[in-house]
Structure 1
Amino acid sequence: MDANANTTAPAGGDSGSGGSDTINWVALVVSLVALAGTIAQVLQQYIASAAGYSNCGESVMGKWHETKKRVFRPTELRFEVQFQTPVIFVCPPSNTRGPLKGKPIHFVDGSPESLKQTRTLLPMEEQQKLQSLQESNIHTADNERASWVTLLSELQKMERDSQDWQQRHYKTSPPQALSIVDFKSHTLAVAVQAKPRSWDTMPSGVMKPYATTTMCHLLEIAAMMGIYWKEFDRSKDRYRAEGNGYVLIGNQIPELGVMFTFQPYGKSRFEENRVIPVDEVKDLCCGFAPTLFEQNKDRRRIEFPNEDPKDLSALHLGSMDEIAETMVLIDCNTDTANYFRSKTAKHGHLFPVPFELLGMLGKTLHIRDSAFRMLPNPTPYHWDKNFFNLRRLIKEYRNKIRDSENDLINIPHVQKLTEDAEMLVQTLNEDKNSQTPGYSMPLLNALHDVLDRCDDYLKQPDRDLVRIVLREHFQEVLRLVNDKGDGDSAGRGSSSIKTAGQRAEHFGELTAASPELRQEAFMELYFFKVLGRVRRQAVMSYERRQTTQYAPSIHSDDPSDESIEGEKPFSSRTSTPSQSRPLSPSSAPPELKAHGSSQSAPQLYIQKPGGSSHQFLSAERDITTELDEQASAIWCTLVLRMLCWLLLHDFNKKDVQISKSELRGSRLPVYIA
């Protein structure tokens, strides 16, 4: 009995030990599971501390998602999300300094290298990429994409498509020069710099990374893409622009500022409608138009972007009040300026008068050997070419300038203008039969050449006489357009309608004339009615100004005539024959004549002994005749320049300037969602 008892006891002990081991192993496994769960929970909490990481995915930022990363902050026991977004700005391709110092600048030019540097795909590739990331192929389901990614993609498309179109254009219409305009020849381009950001600094109401730009650069980008402002209310921070298949909407975001959203809503096109990539677009989209007398534009735009023009280096055309101020700037009378402040006055004939001023003085912005002609409209008027034909106007100009009735053909410079007009008419006929009517290289370069010759001439004569002719022209045109007598005669019935062989007498006939006679009536009014009065008034005003008793005193540095002395650089003069001889008022005795300009003290001309008053009056008539010829030549040059400038450049019919001149050069930060 004892032996059996002794043999069974160890077995019972082994059984108890085995059960204990099982329990211990179970407890160990449970503890390990609990520990793993605790560790996983802790890790999850740390990982979850990286707020915004999921908002920086590829579906939101495109290829820019490659820049996102988590950075552990030991002192805070959490992860911080860091990423990069673009700073978008506009500058010449030769620019080497950007908003971010020390950061590389990548230009948007549509090339594969630019696509790689800006981490951008073309629109078709973007759509394919989105469809691969989404279960649905519905186009409207990609609203999680940051709109600045789409903007960069469309900008790349703009450059690529416009360059491809121009290359095809060169093949169908070879340029006269061997050089081909490429991206490096542009003076306006979109550039990108990558800026590091942290999700910790994101405002609470913003759930996607945003790009940064400035208000002036956004206006310039919109103009480049053919997007036109429909609403621009700064007091309520409501902005909306549409055009070329895009929509741009801006609103105020608390704790951040004004944020814009960019979205395509239709088909876009960048061919002949592409805006000329020149630096002056920065001025035009804010209502300023640089002129042929412009000097030192960079200093003016950077140091004095909002200063009112003091000379005719730039025209301020963004609103009715600004146009009225521009008319005052060229010394027009108060009635002429008030036409643009009146709600009932007329401001146009075949087209609005401000476009005529723009054509007469506007700087030539077309790039030689380039087919792009479009510009932002700096005026509050629509440019509607359905009511006139610039080609016919040039032909009628040619017919009228060589008409023997106007006594212009004997003026040497007018003979050169006649030759230019003949050449343009011939080129227009050849362009009509070309494969690209209106955009053939021979036509565009011929217009550019004529504009250059007109500019050279207008800069040579006395600029004071140029300004006076310009002033008298617009005073006369606006007076005739708003003349109630002319308006009444236009409504007398069918007898007032111009017919073939009948000369136009008033601007009211332009609306009643048939399309084929409208251009002829316009030029008849200009050459046989406007020119005579402009020439007479301009010469009279010029002689009065040259011999005025209010000329600067030799004993004082302060000029008495501030309107003359204050004009720089437009009033600067070069010597002409009319200035090398004395101009005498009728009230001055023949023995003593005053001669001088507004910038120097009067000089006395003493008649030689033995001279007669008859000889002096004969010399005076010669001087007046010479001034008549100069004034006529200046007027004919301005009119031809206006026609060539408006034919070489173009505006979209839907583009109308909304006054925002104070935003030119504005560095107010704005954001793109």
Structure 2
Amino acid sequence: MADANNLIINAANVTVNGTGSDSGSGGNDNNDVLNWVALVVSLVALLGTVAQVLQQYYASAAGYSNCGESVMGEWHKSKSRKFRLTELRFEVQFEAPVIFVCPPSNTKGPVKNEPIHFIRGTKESLANTRALLPQDEEKHRLEALKENQVHTADNERATWVTLLSQLQYMEKQSADWQDQQLKNNGPRNPLPSLAQFEDHSLAIAVQSKKRSWDTMPLEVRKPYATTAMCHLLEIAAMMGIYWKEFDRSKDKYRAEGNGYMLTGEQARDLGLMFTFRISGKSHFEENRVIPVDEVKELCCGYASTIFKETKDNRRVEFPNEESKDLGLLQLGSMAEIAETMVLMECNTNTANYFRQDGHKHTHLFPVPFELLGMLGKTLHIRNSCYRMLPNPTPCQWDKNFFNLRKLVKEYANTIQEDEALPQIPQIRALEDLALGVVSAIKRDKNLKIPGYSMHLLNTLHDALDKCDEYLRFDRCDDEKAKADRRDLVQMVLREHFQEILKMINDPEDDKVMSNPAQRVGEDSDPEKRRARQFHELSAANPEERQVKFMDIYFYTVLDQVRDRAVQSLIRRQSSTRYAPSTHERESSVDSAKSATMKAASAPSTPTLTAVRPASPRAPLRTYDSTHSAPLLQLPHDGSKPLFPDEIDTELGQEAAAIWCTLVFRMLCWLLLHDFHKKDVQIPKSELLGSRLPVYIA
């Protein structure tokens, strides 16, 4: 501005001097020329001054160039300058997304009075979320590169723009794949109606929030998106991204999978900042996670069970509180699995198998998956082809060592051939369900992509519903009878896992298998023979594993579980009714043996004596039935209660039927749902429902 003023003064001086020295018409002409020159110079100087002033005001709009299309994509249209008269400067305002996870029916978001837009992969959803599909993003990028002739990596883009694009791609590709599956594998006439987006209970939603560049931290040079820690975990699980590092003490986070990478660290003056990158090819077909609300629990190491009350509005009141019943299982770490075993009232040895190092907890597959299959809530959406779930356990799900389809077939063969099983309605119903599942498996085998036919998945879903109805005693209105059924189910579960883990970790197993010469003398001892069965299972060839597994379960495990579950239930009812004690622990293996020896002198009752010649099964043991009052009011067919003179046989049959139902349910659940081999849970159970704000660069 000083230079411009000097130019104006000099021009005025030139004008005055010219006027005083010249005379006549020639002088007048010269004066006119000088005046015009001075005027032009003055105008140029004035314009320069005005331009300089305007530039300084516009320069006060810090961050405006950082909100361009190359950074924010379609969101750049929301940027604007707002003049602050009191401060004589411009403020830059823009809109950035708030990303969260909720059911499609949700109408309330974290930003008040802003519409909620769900990511659905449709044109309307793309327009509402201001996103482009990846192929359109790439086309747009190449056009920009062609115009600018700059052939470098496109690292100017905010990573949340890429995230929104990939989320839209996830919904679109998975929906297209499911439509194709229906055409290829579905029954010809009539075609079932596919589950729609509204049938999902989990969706990704976006709201826009107006922000000011004035509030941006100094280290952040691009607009960021906002979410919460729990939502970020859920989005990562839905996209098939598995955590490799989750160190909250050092604020180091890294997740990889399905061609994506997610890293996080602490940003000064802001909080946790995550960066989303594409590292390879991605697809959302058979690996698409089932869009159900329970995914929120699974990705934090929790699992809802069939005994969870539907009236529960929240999963846990406080993330750090312990579960008080079998409605919700904690499986996120070995220590949490040990606590779950304690919750099931297992003995200390069983809990220590998970709590202490050096113990085994795998047969054909890890035992925690067996618990998940026996009790886990059915999460498959009827008339959909999605099967994948986040792994809630620290164990790896590797299907190379077993074949679930063959296991189901062997189960169906065994439950038909085993004459020692009680011929009660539930056992006959299980035979029919197993045959129906085997038939669906055979039909599915001949299809283009086995494992995802609508007929097979719905058949498995129906079978699980029937098992749940029996285990929960849904058709009974008597709350006392329901509670008794749950007690017996819990006893069977407890004794089953105590027996399985004891057999897997039996020290005699290792001794005998390490010294084959010793095996000859051990064959006559049933206990020694039983101890090494799981070791023999590990040594079996792939075509023999399934048969060996079912033989162990039906002809060894069932006998022990049935007898001990009945013992424990009678002892619990007896001690509660006649001799309550706050110090007595539930029966362990040794106490069960002593109770059996004590019961040998009691009057005998009818027993199940049918056995399989190749694998003799012990008949039902007899128990003390001298009490005049009934020990348990557990109706078996609704006609009469069970009294002491028949309780042993009836309870034994009921326990055997519950065990068979649990094993069949486990096989069907694991066949209906799936886990990725590389997905292993890293302990983070306290982050379930965490609303800790996190940001996406």
TM-score by length of structure 1 reads 0.87
The Cα shift of 1:563 comes to 9.7
CA contact (8 A) 2:133 2:166 kept: yes
1:227 counterpart = 2:241: yes
CA contact (8 A) 2:393 2:681 kept: yes
The Cα shift of 1:221 comes to 0.3
Task: Pick the aligned partner of 1:467 from 490, 493, 496.
Answer: 490
Q: What is the distance in 2 between the residues matched to 1:235 and 1:493?
A: 50
Q: For residues 519-598 of structure 1, what are the structure 2 equivalents within 5 Å? A: 519-549=546-576, 592-593=628-629, 595=631
Q: Which residue of 2 aligns with 1:287?
A: 301
Task: Pick the aligned partner of 1:416 from 423, 429, 448.
Answer: 429
Task: Pick the aligned partner of 1:440 from 428, 433, 453.
Answer: 453
| Structure 2 unaligned blocks of 5 or more | 1-20, 474-481, 521-528, 587-621, 635-641
The Cα shift of 1:594 comes to 6.2
| Cα-to-partner distance string for 1:533-583 (whole Å, 9 max, x where unaligned) | 001100000011111156698xxxxx969999xxxxxxxxxxxxxxxxxxx
Task: Pick the aligned partner of 1:128 from 139, 162, 171.
Answer: 139
Q: Which residue of 2 aligns with 1:46?
A: 57
The Cα shift of 1:372 comes to 0.5
Aligned in 2, Cα 1:300/1:494: closer, same or farther, shift over 3 Å? Answer: farther
2:629 counterpart SS class: strand
1:102 counterpart = 2:113: yes
1:70 counterpart SS class: strand
Q: What is the distance in 1 between the residues matched to 2:152 and 2:170?
A: 22
CA contact (8 A) 1:552 1:560 kept: no
The count of residues paired between Structure 1 and Structure 2 equals: 614
1:374 counterpart SS class: coil
Q: Which residue of 2 aligns with 1:259?
A: 273
1:670 counterpart SS class: strand
1:644 counterpart = 2:656: no
CA contact (8 A) 2:390 2:679 kept: yes
Q: Which residue of 1 aligns with 2:17?
A: none
Q: Which residue of 1 aligns with 2:380?
A: 366
1:56 counterpart = 2:67: yes
Q: What is the distance in 1 between the residues matched to 2:105 and 2:418?
A: 52
Task: Pick the aligned partner of 1:301 from 292, 312, 315.
Answer: 315
Q: For residues 381-392 of structure 1, what are the structure 2 equivalents within 5 Å? A: 381-392=395-406
Aligned in 2, Cα 1:588/1:154: closer, same or farther, shift over 3 Å? Answer: closer
Q: What is the distance in 1 between the residues matched to 2:308 and 2:149?
A: 54
Alignment root-mean-square deviation, CA: 2.6
Amino acid at match of 1:544: R
| Structure 1 unaligned blocks of 5 or more | 1-9, 498-502, 554-558, 565-584, 599-617
The Cα shift of 1:172 comes to 1.1
| Cα-to-partner distance string for 1:32-80 (whole Å, 9 max, x where unaligned) | 1111111000000001111000000000000000000111111111111
Q: What is the distance in 1 between the residues matched to 2:290 and 2:241?
A: 14
The Cα shift of 1:348 comes to 0.8
The Cα shift of 1:15 comes to 2.2
Q: For residues 75-114 of structure 1, what are the structure 2 equivalents within 5 Å? A: 75-114=86-125
Task: Tell me which moved more, 190-199 or 171-180.
Answer: 171-180
Q: Which residue of 1 aligns with 2:185?
A: 173
Q: What is the distance in 2 between the residues matched to 1:326 and 1:506?
A: 26
The Cα shift of 1:588 comes to 8.0
Amino acid at match of 2:252: R
CA contact (8 A) 1:246 1:268 kept: yes
Q: What is the distance in 2 between the residues matched to 1:137 and 1:225?
A: 34
Amino acid at match of 2:70: S
Q: Which residue of 2 aligns with 1:627?
A: 651
Q: Which residue of 2 aligns with 1:349?
A: 363
1:115 counterpart = 2:126: yes
Task: Pick the aligned partner of 1:508 from 535, 544, 547.
Answer: 535
CA contact (8 A) 2:630 2:643 kept: no
Q: What is the distance in 1 between the residues matched to 2:623 and 2:358?
A: 41
Task: Pick the aligned partner of 2:225 from 195, 208, 211.
Answer: 211
Q: What is the distance in 1 between the residues matched to 2:585 and 2:687?
A: 29
1:476 counterpart = 2:499: yes
CA contact (8 A) 1:229 1:242 kept: yes
Q: Which residue of 2 aligns with 1:570?
A: none
Amino acid at match of 1:515: P
Amino acid at match of 2:163: L
Q: What is the distance in 1 between the residues matched to 2:319 and 2:643?
A: 49
Q: What is the distance in 2 between the residues matched to 1:212 and 1:451?
A: 40
The Cα shift of 1:343 comes to 1.2
Task: Tell me which moved more, 447-456 or 487-496.
Answer: 487-496
1:659 counterpart = 2:683: yes
Percentage of matched positions with identical amino acids: 62
Q: Which residue of 1 aligns with 2:174?
A: 162
TM-score by length of structure 2 reads 0.84
CA contact (8 A) 2:630 2:644 kept: no
CA contact (8 A) 2:512 2:518 kept: no
Q: Which residue of 1 aligns with 2:639?
A: none
| Cα-to-partner distance string for 1:326-355 (whole Å, 9 max, x where unaligned) | 000000001000100121000110000000
Amino acid at match of 1:153: S
Aligned in 2, Cα 1:11/1:355: closer, same or farther, shift over 3 Å? Answer: closer
Amino acid at match of 1:41: Q
Q: What is the distance in 2 between the residues matched to 1:487 and 1:11?
A: 124
Q: Which residue of 1 aligns with 2:32?
A: 21
Q: What is the distance in 1 between the residues matched to 2:272 and 2:149?
A: 32
Q: What is the distance in 2 between the residues matched to 1:129 and 1:435?
A: 37
Task: Pick the aligned partner of 1:316 from 292, 310, 330.
Answer: 330
Q: What is the distance in 1 between the residues matched to 2:106 and 2:584?
A: 40
Aligned in 2, Cα 1:439/1:551: closer, same or farther, shift over 3 Å? Answer: farther
Q: Which residue of 2 aligns with 1:450?
A: 463
Amino acid at match of 1:521: K
Task: Pick the aligned partner of 1:269 from 283, 306, 322.
Answer: 283
The Cα shift of 1:140 comes to 5.9
| Cα-to-partner distance string for 1:161-187 (whole Å, 9 max, x where unaligned) | 000000011111226773221111111
CA contact (8 A) 1:186 1:277 kept: yes
2:272 counterpart SS class: strand
1:141 counterpart = 2:153: yes
Aligned in 2, Cα 1:489/1:238: closer, same or farther, shift over 3 Å? Answer: same
Q: What is the distance in 2 between the residues matched to 1:562 and 1:459?
A: 28
Task: Pick the aligned partner of 2:252 from 207, 215, 238.
Answer: 238
CA contact (8 A) 1:551 1:561 kept: no
Q: What is the distance in 2 between the residues matched to 1:33 and 1:58?
A: 35
CA contact (8 A) 2:422 2:653 kept: no
The Cα shift of 1:308 comes to 1.6
CA contact (8 A) 1:148 1:211 kept: yes
Task: Pick the aligned partner of 2:693 from 657, 669, 672.
Answer: 669
CA contact (8 A) 1:286 1:664 kept: yes
Q: Which residue of 2 aligns with 1:427?
A: 440
The Cα shift of 1:493 comes to 4.8
Q: What is the distance in 1 between the residues matched to 2:383 and 2:470?
A: 23
Task: Pick the aligned partner of 1:517 from 538, 544, 558.
Answer: 544
Task: Pick the aligned partner of 1:68 from 63, 66, 79.
Answer: 79
Q: What is the distance in 1 between the residues matched to 2:391 and 2:298?
A: 7
Amino acid at match of 1:67: S
2:428 counterpart SS class: helix
CA contact (8 A) 2:230 2:691 kept: yes
Q: What is the distance in 2 between the residues matched to 1:370 and 1:494?
A: 55
| Cα-to-partner distance string for 1:191-244 (whole Å, 9 max, x where unaligned) | 000000000000000000000000000000000000000000011110000000
Q: What is the distance in 2 between the residues matched to 1:53 and 1:62?
A: 14
